[in-house]
Every structure is written in C-alpha cells, then in structure tokens.
Amino acid sequence: MRRHYLDNIRWATILVVMIYHVLLIYSAVVPGMGTPFADVQYQDGIIYFLYPWIMILLFIVAGMSSRYYLEGHTIKEFISSRTHKLLVPSTIGVIIFGFLPGYINVYHSGGLEAFKANVPGFVLFLICTASGIGVLWFIQELWLFSMVLAFIRKHETGKIYAFTERAGIVTAVLLVIPVYLSGLILNVPVIVVYRFGIYPLAFFLGYFVFAHDEVIDRISRWKYVLIPAAVILGSVYLYLHFGDNYADMPVMGSIPAVAYAWAAILAIFAGAKAWADRKGTISAFMTRKSWGIYIFHNMFIVASAILLQEKLSLPPLPCYLVSAVAAFFGSLGLYEIISRIPFLRWCILGIKKR
C-alpha cells in the first residue's frame, strides 16, 4: 500500500529545505553562513520557524520508509539498496562531483584567494571537495543509521514494534522528553549539523512508532489541536530567541526549540494524513524529482547569490526570488542531465538504472 501522505511530506519538506537555504544564504543570524543585506532582517524569522523540525522530520520519514521497505525485502536487499542510494553518492559522488559545489562555497566564503596563495593545488582540491559534501551530510548519517537498523532487524523479534502499535496521542506528545534529552548529547562541535543523539532517535522512532498506520490515524484526529499548538509554540520560540544563533547550542537544544519542533512534526503528520493522503499530477512529479532537488539545490543557491548580490548588487526581494527559482529549476535540469549518464547517475545520484 502506497502511503501518499508520506510521499507528500517528503517532497514538501525537501522544498522547505531549499527555501531554508535560500533564506540562509542571505541571513544575518548564523555567523559565516550568509551575506546579509542588513544587521537585522525580520525575514530571518522564517528561518527560526523552519530549522528546528525539518531534518528531524526527514529522519522520521526515512525510518518509516525503511520499515515499509523491509516488509517486502530481505535485510541483504536493504543493505544493498541503502548503500548504493546513500553511501555511494556521499563518498564516490563527492570525489567525482564535489569539487564544483565546493569551489563555489569556498569562493562565496571569501577564502578562495587565500587558499590559492598559501596551499598547493591538490590541497585546494581536497578542501573544495570536502566543502562540496554540503547537504550530503544527511545521507551519510542516514546510511549509518540504516546499517545499525539492519543489525537490529536481524536480531529483533518484533516485540518492540508490536508494543508501540498501541501508542496514542499522549504517548506521541510525551516522546518530546527523550527527543529533548537526545538533543543534548553527541552533537559534533564546529560541524553542528552532525547530531548523533537526536537524529538516530528520530530515525528509529519513525521505524518503531510512526510506521504504524494506526498511530498516525490517532495523531491525525488531534489536528485541530496540534496545528494551533505548533503555531503558538513556534511564536514563543521566535520571541525568545530571535537574533540568537539558532543552529548551535544552547538554542537548538533548548526546551522552546524542541517543544516547538515536536509540535510542528506531530501537526504535519496530522494534517498530511487528513488532507494530503492522495496522489495528483504535481505530487507524482515531485515525488519522482525531489531527490535531485535535494542533491543539487544548494549549489545553485550559492552561485546565484554570488551573481545577484556581489556582482549585480540587487536588493533583497529579487535576490530571494531569483535564488529560489534558480535552485528549483537548476537542480531539476541538472538532475535530468546526470540521471541520463550511466556512471554519473550511479555515483552522484545512487541510481543503478534509469
């Protein structure tokens, strides 16, 4: 049974990630990440509403999808599928393709000339290639969690999954406690996107809890409570932390941030199950193409920001709009090209056959 609401959550969240990165490249909040138009930009408030939940949600969705895949495939097939889909693009793909987006990133950060003057060309290549990992950190972690899941699946008897089928709205809400506690541990310093506490928990909650259709149905009944709650908690979080670096501790691990993130995730599941559990022309197209948007979008955002802001000195609104359009259509176009080239589609996109 195809769960269309889950497909719609996945591609819609990837679009939200793209929008987040458009806003981030011009933001005044995270040091070194954006080139702001002013010291204080109220449009940066949108970032605060997006950042706390987008990646946690994607890991939950990935855990759910892993459960559904394993219901019809062997562990060996799961390992093979996840390895060529996730590990190959984030290793071999980075070596083959990572230099280009990495070079653009280093140029945008203002460090390219210094590197050219002080390090050999091979070292510059390595620096740019490492910078080209970009959004692929997500699939690196996802592959690791998938391998742990394969081990658990081999030895787990099914009792945990059977027990969690009884979870209702109270249990779903109370899960915010372990989510909060996990967010306080195993956060990688400097490279703060790698959070080995909260993200694996989200992945396994998706696999063991949210993969139950009955659990999602029970959550969906509370949509008219969860959606307003998420809006209120998000507003409180924004009021308390606007101007702070939301992407690092202590803000990203604070009670307001996690409470809002969890309420938003439950509200998204509730609303999507109630109103978006269907397939249309647009949703079918986006389900097929969203992987390419995720892999390539950030390169076009950074490149367009360099052109629009540094070279043309355009005002904010055109910069935001053009960067969003460039990211969407540029990533789609590049995906269509690379997906038609056998070796490149395998190593960059993790696609064996077209």
Domains of the chain, by residue range, sit at: 4-98+133-349
Neighbouring-strand partners of residue 195: 187
The answer to whether residues 334 and 40 touch, using CB atoms and an 8 Å cutoff, is no
What ranges in 83-190 are assigned the alpha helix state H? 88-97, 99-109, 112-118, 121-131, 137-155, 159-164, 169-174, 176-182
Region of 185 (left: φ > 0; alpha: ψ -120 to 50; beta: rest) is beta
Question: pLDDT > 90: what percent of the chain?
Answer: 89
What average pLDDT does this structure show over 53-72?
97
Integer Cα distance of 278 and 2 in angstroms: 10
169's tokens: 């709205």
pLDDT over threshold 90, residue 35: no
Report the distance separating Cα 258 and Cα 265, nearest Å: 10
pLDDT of residue 109: 86
Q: What is the mean pLDDT of the chain?
A: 95
Residue 29 has phi, psi (to 5 degrees) of -105, -55
Q: What is the mean pLDDT of residues 171-189?
A: 96
* Residue 303: both structure tokens together: 């490149």
Instruction: Tell me what percent of the residues of the chain surpass a pLDDT of 70.
Output: 99
Q: Which amino acid is at 281?
A: T
Give the pLDDT score at 173. 98
Task: Answer whether 0.75 is exceeded by the pTM.
Answer: yes
R_g (Cα) of the chain, nearest Å: 20
Strand boundaries in 140-238, DSSP class E = none
Per-residue pLDDT reduced to its tens digit, 242-290: 999 999 999 999 999 999 999 999 999 999 999 999 999 999 999 999 9
Cis peptide before 250 (omega within 30 of 0): yes
**Residue 354 pLDDT grade (very low, low, confident, very high; cuts 50, 70, 90):** low
Distance between CA atoms of 232 and 229, rounded to whole angstroms?
Answer: 5
Task: State the residue for tokens 């990646």.
Answer: 55
Q: What pLDDT does 280 receive?
A: 94
Q: What is the mean pLDDT of residues 319-340?
A: 97
Per-residue tokens: 285: 């197209």
Burial zone of 181 (CB within 10 Å; 0-12 exposed, 13-18 middle, 19+ buried): middle
